[in-house]
Amino acid sequence: MTDADNIVAETAERIFADLADAQTINRDKNGSWKAPLWQALTDAGLPLSWVPEECDGSGTSMAEGFSVLSVAGRAGVAVPLAETMLAGWLLAQAQIKSPEGMMTVAPASPRDRLTLNADGTITGRARGVPFATDAKHIAVVASGFGGASIALVDASACRIEAGLGLADDPSDTVHFDTVKPITLQSAPSGFDQNALLLMGALVRSQQIAGALETMLGISVNYSGERVAFEKKISKFQAVQHNLAKLAGETSAALAAASSAADAFSSGAPLDDALFLEAAAAKIRCSEAAEKGAAIAHQVLGAIGFTQEHILHRYTLRALAWRDDFGSESYWAVELGKLVAARGADELWPLVASR
Split at pLDDT 50, 70, 90, the class of 100 is very high
- Please tell me the predicted confidence (pLDDT) of residue 3: 44
- Please tell me the predicted confidence (pLDDT) of residue 14: 95
Which DSSP helix (H) or strand (E) runs through 122? strand 122-130
CATH number at residue 224: 1.20.140.10
Q: Are residues 217 and 344 in the same domain?
A: yes
For the residues 314-336, what does the mean pLDDT come to?
95
pTM above 0.85, yes or no: yes
Q: Are residues 118 and 141 in the same domain?
A: yes
Strand, coil or helix: what is 350?
A: helix
For the residues 74-86, what does the mean pLDDT come to?
95
- Please tell me the predicted confidence (pLDDT) of residue 34: 93
For the residues 118-143, what does the mean pLDDT come to?
96
Percent of the chain surpassing pLDDT 90: 77
pLDDT surpasses 70 at 338: yes
For the residues 324-352, what does the mean pLDDT come to?
89
CA distance 190 to 211: 33
**Cβ atoms < 10 Å from Cβ of 30:** 6
Q: Is residue 296 part of a domain?
A: yes
Domain boundary among 191, 207, 223: 191
Q: Is residue 89 part of a domain?
A: no
pLDDT surpasses 70 at 304: yes
pLDDT in tens, 252-269: 999 999 999 999 998 777
Which DSSP helix (H) or strand (E) runs through 151? strand 147-154
- Please tell me the predicted confidence (pLDDT) of residue 17: 93
Give residue 316's Cα distance to chain centre: 14
- Number of domain units in the chain: 3
Domain boundary among 160, 191, 222: 191
Are 206 and 66 in contact by the 8 Å Cβ rule? The answer is: yes
Rounded to 5, what percent of the chain is helix, strand, coil?
55, 15, 30
Q: Are residues 204 and 186 in the same domain?
A: no
Q: What are φ and ψ of residue 219, in 5° steps? A: -65, -45
pLDDT in tens, 180-235: 999 999 999 889 999 999 999 999 999 999 999 999 999 999 999 888 888 888 88
Q: Is residue 109 part of a domain?
A: yes
pLDDT in tens, 277-298: 999 999 999 999 999 999 999 9
344 vs 121, which has greater pLDDT?
121
Please give the radius of gyration of the chain, using alpha carbons only, rounded to the nearest integer: 20
Q: Are residues 153 and 264 in the same domain?
A: no
| Beta partners for residue 231, in sequence order | 228
- Please tell me the predicted confidence (pLDDT) of residue 26: 85
Residue numbers of the domain that contains 346: 193-352
Q: Torsion over CA of 62, 67, 71 and 73, rounded to 10 degrees?
A: 60
Strand, coil or helix: what is 29?
A: coil
Q: Are residues 222 and 151 in the same domain?
A: no
Q: Are residues 179 and 204 in the same domain?
A: no
Strand, coil or helix: what is 172?
A: strand
Q: What are φ and ψ of residue 48, in 5° steps? A: -110, 35
pLDDT surpasses 90 at 307: no
For the ranges 29-33, 67-71, 110-114, 327-331, which has the lowest average pLDDT?
29-33
Q: Are residues 38 and 73 in the same domain?
A: yes
pLDDT surpasses 60 at 2: no
Q: What are φ and ψ of residue 64, in 5° steps? A: -65, -40
- Please tell me the predicted confidence (pLDDT) of residue 5: 53
Mean predicted lDDT score pLDDT of the chain: 93
pLDDT surpasses 80 at 353: no
Strand, coil or helix: what is 18?
A: helix
Q: Is residue 300 part of a domain?
A: yes
Q: Is residue 91 part of a domain?
A: no
Domain boundary among 171, 191, 211: 191
